[in-house]
Structure 1
Amino acid sequence: MSLNHLSIEELHDLLVKKELSALELTQATLEDIKSREGAVDSFLTISEEAALAQAEALDEKGIDADNVMAAIPIAVKDNISTKGILTTAASKMLYNYEPIFDATAVEKLYAKDMIVIGKTNLDEFAMGGSNENSAFKPTKNAWDQTKVPGGSSGGSASAVASGQVRLSLGSDTGGSIRQPAAFSGIVGMKPTYGRVSRFGLIAFGSSLDQIGPFSQTVKENAQLLNVISGHDVKDATSTKQEVADFTSKIGQDIKGMKIALPKEYMGEGIDPAVKEVILKAARHLESLGAIVEEVSLPHSKYGVAVYYIIASSEASSNLQRFDGIRYGFRAEDATSLEEIYVQTRSQGFGEEVKRRIMLGTFSLSAGYYDAYFKKAGQVRTLIIRDFEKVFADYDLILGPTAPTVAFGLDTLNHDPVAMYLADLLTIPVNLAGLPGISIPAGFVEGLPVGLQLIGPKYSEETIYQVAAAFEATTDYHKQQPVIFGGEA
Structure 2
Amino acid sequence: MFDKSISELHSLLHKKELSVSELVQSSFDRINTVDDKVKAFMTLNEEGAMQAAKALDGKLGTEEARGLLFGLPVGVKDNIVTKGLRTTASSQLLGNFEPLHNATVVERLNAAETITVGKLNMDEFAMGSSNENSGFYSTRNPWNTDYVPGGSSGGSAASVAAGEVFFSLGSDTGGSIRQPAAFCGVVGLKPTYGLVSRFGLIAFASSLDQIGPITNTVEDNAYLLQSIAGYDKMDSTSANVDLPDYLSSLTGDVKGLRIAVPKEYLAEGVDEDVKNNVLQALKKLEELGASWEEVSLPHSKYAVATYYLLSSSEASANLARFDGVRYGVRAEAENLLDLYKKTRSEGFGDEVKRRIMLGTFALSSGYYDAYYKKAQKVRTLIKNDFEKVFEDYDVIIGPTTPTPAFKVGEKIDNPLTMYANDILTIPVNLAGVPAISVPCGLSNGLPVGLQIIGKHFDERTVYRVAHAFEQATDHHKAKPEL
Shorter-chain TM range is over 0.9
Task: Give 1:273 deviation, angstroms.
Answer: 1.5
* Counterpart mapping for 1:5-16 below 5 A: 5-16=3-14
Q: Does 1:55 align with 2:53?
A: yes
| Corresponding residue for residue 424 of structure 1 | 423
| Corresponding residue for residue 251 of structure 2 | 251
Q: Does 1:477 align with 2:479?
A: no
Q: Give, in whole Å, the separation in 2 of the partners of 1:216 and 1:4.
A: 9
| Corresponding residue for residue 486 of structure 1 | none
Q: Give, in whole Å, the separation in 2 of the partners of 1:286 and 1:340.
A: 61
Q: Give, in whole Å, the separation in 2 of the partners of 1:68 and 1:429.
A: 29
| Corresponding residue for residue 117 of structure 1 | 117
| Corresponding residue for residue 337 of structure 2 | 338
Q: Give, in whole Å, the separation in 2 of the partners of 1:155 and 1:82.
A: 17
Task: Give 1:167 deviation, angstroms.
Answer: 0.3
* Counterpart mapping for 1:78-477 below 5 A: 78-332=78-332, 334-477=333-476
Whichever residue aligns with residue 5 of structure 1, its letter is D
> Secondary structure in 1 aligned to 2:378?
helix
Contact 2:252 2:471 in 1 (8 A): no
Q: Give, in whole Å, the separation in 2 of the partners of 1:70 and 1:123.
A: 30
Whichever residue aligns with residue 10 of structure 1, its letter is E
Task: Give 1:280 deviation, angstroms.
Answer: 1.0
What whole-Å deviation, never above 9, does each CA across 1:74-103 have from its counterpart, x for those lacking one? Answer: 000000000010000000010000001000
Q: Give, in whole Å, the separation in 2 of the partners of 1:315 and 1:168.
A: 25
Whichever residue aligns with residue 29 of structure 2, its letter is E
Q: Give, in whole Å, the separation in 1 of the partners of 2:65 and 2:98.
A: 34
Contact 2:16 2:60 in 1 (8 A): no
What whole-Å deviation, never above 9, does each CA across 1:345-384 have from its counterpart, x for those lacking one? Answer: 1110000000000000000000000000000000000000
Unaligned 5+ segments in structure 2 are none
What whole-Å deviation, never above 9, does each CA across 1:425-458 have from its counterpart, x for those lacking one? Answer: 0000000000000000001101000000000101
Q: Give, in whole Å, the separation in 2 of the partners of 1:252 and 1:31.
A: 35
> Secondary structure in 1 aligned to 2:317?
helix
Whichever residue aligns with residue 220 of structure 2, its letter is E
The percentage of counterpart residues that share the same residue type is 59
| Corresponding residue for residue 35 of structure 1 | 33
Q: Give, in whole Å, the separation in 1 of the partners of 2:58 and 2:17.
A: 15
Q: Give, in whole Å, the separation in 1 of the partners of 2:440 and 2:4.
A: 21
Whichever residue aligns with residue 411 of structure 1, its letter is E
> Secondary structure in 2 aligned to 1:61?
coil
What whole-Å deviation, never above 9, does each CA across 1:120-155 have from its counterpart, x for those lacking one? Answer: 000000000000000100000010000000000000
Whichever residue aligns with residue 103 of structure 2, its letter is A
> Secondary structure in 2 aligned to 1:428?
helix
What whole-Å deviation, never above 9, does each CA across 1:256-278 have from its counterpart, x for those lacking one? Answer: 10000000001121111111111
Unaligned 5+ segments in structure 1 are 484-488
Task: Give 1:421 deviation, angstroms.
Answer: 0.3
> Secondary structure in 2 aligned to 1:199?
coil
> For this pair of structures, how many residues does the alignment match?
480
Contact 2:59 2:65 in 1 (8 A): no
Q: Give, in whole Å, the separation in 2 of the partners of 1:4 and 1:118.
A: 17
Q: Pairwise CA RMSD of aligned residues?
A: 0.7
TM-score after normalising by structure 1: 0.98
Whichever residue aligns with residue 371 of structure 1, its letter is A
> Secondary structure in 2 aligned to 1:212?
strand
Task: Give 1:6 deviation, angstroms.
Answer: 1.2
> Secondary structure in 1 aligned to 2:373?
helix
Task: Give 1:25 deviation, angstroms.
Answer: 0.7
Q: Give, in whole Å, the separation in 1 of the partners of 2:49 and 2:148.
A: 29
